[in-house]
Amino acid sequence: MRRAALVLLVALALLVPGSARANGDPASDTLLTEQTFLPLEAPISASAKSDLNKTVAEANKKGYTIRVAIIAFSGDLGLVGSLWGKPQPYAKFLWNELSFSYNNRLLVAMPAGFGFYAGDGKPIDKELAVLKGVKAGQIPTDLTESAAEAVRQLAAANGVEVAKPSSGSSTRDRILILVGALVVLALVLVFPTRWLRRGRGGGQSPSAEPR
């Protein structure tokens, strides 16, 4: 009985380091199966998320294999917060965390800049030169948008054209709101007297009209 209990304790002890490792770096958990890591608690606009996800998906579909981690705050690093503000060292660390199931290109976006890694021994000078020309956003939405742009430029540098996704209904909604506002403004300017009279409860009563 004691031997069985001891075996169980040893087995549990062996499982703990693996679990701690998985929970210690949120991006590594997500990027094992997904193409992008977007921290849930970061205030990122829906359009920026869509832009990044569509851009990365298209790049992968066209043969430019890449995964992207958005690290907007130090808390997004989990237990490796010491790598905050160090996108290149973190890119190498994260790649190593993923390497048993994914060993291709990896882009990390932090307000401090971009990090890129593609595996030990693989040259990345060209990619790092491209990333120097892309300014990383300082707030979560801008950071996500700049990461999408970085992916497009990295793909282009490797002969893969990835178009910026259309914002679709979001743009149409903004246009409709603007048009509606302009129409209301035009009516107020063209018919100011009528609008003012309506605001005061209508026109004069019939008995007040001159005879």
Band of pLDDT at residue 48, cut at 50, 70 and 90: very high
pLDDT for the residue numbered 74: 96
Within this chain, do residues 147 and 173 fall inside the same structural domain, yes or no?
A: no
pLDDT for the residue numbered 208: 46
Measured distance CA(189)–CA(201) in Å, rounded: 19
- 56: domain CATH number is 3.10.310.50
pLDDT-wise least confident of 21-35, 150-164, 177-191:
177-191
What is the arithmetic mean of pLDDT over 78-89?
96
Arithmetic mean of pLDDT over the chain: 81
Band of pLDDT at residue 18, cut at 50, 70 and 90: very low
Within this chain, do residues 64 and 138 fall inside the same structural domain, yes or no?
A: yes
Number of domains in the chain: 2
Its domain, for residue 181, covers 166-196
pLDDT for the residue numbered 180: 60
Within this chain, do residues 29 and 126 fall inside the same structural domain, yes or no?
A: yes
Within this chain, do residues 96 and 133 fall inside the same structural domain, yes or no?
A: yes
205 belongs to a structural domain: no
Band of pLDDT at residue 24, cut at 50, 70 and 90: confident
Measured distance CA(7)–CA(141) in Å, rounded: 50
Within this chain, do residues 149 and 172 fall inside the same structural domain, yes or no?
A: no
Measured distance CA(158)–CA(203) in Å, rounded: 71
Percent of the chain with pLDDT over 70: 68
Within this chain, do residues 61 and 98 fall inside the same structural domain, yes or no?
A: yes
20 belongs to a structural domain: no
pLDDT above 70: residue 84: yes
Within this chain, do residues 74 and 145 fall inside the same structural domain, yes or no?
A: yes
Q: Each residue of 138-158: pLDDT tens digit?
A: 999 999 999 999 999 999 999
Within this chain, do residues 63 and 142 fall inside the same structural domain, yes or no?
A: yes
For residue 114, which of 87, 141, 142, 93 has the smallest C-alpha distance? 87
What is the arithmetic mean of pLDDT over 111-120?
96
pLDDT for the residue numbered 9: 39
190 belongs to a structural domain: yes
pLDDT for the residue numbered 106: 98
Token output for 44: 């990122």
pLDDT for the residue numbered 199: 52
What is the arithmetic mean of pLDDT over 31-55?
96
Measured distance CA(75)–CA(82) in Å, rounded: 10
206 belongs to a structural domain: no
5 belongs to a structural domain: no
Q: Who has greater pLDDT, 102 or 177?
A: 102
Q: Max alpha carbon distance in the chain (Å)?
A: 113
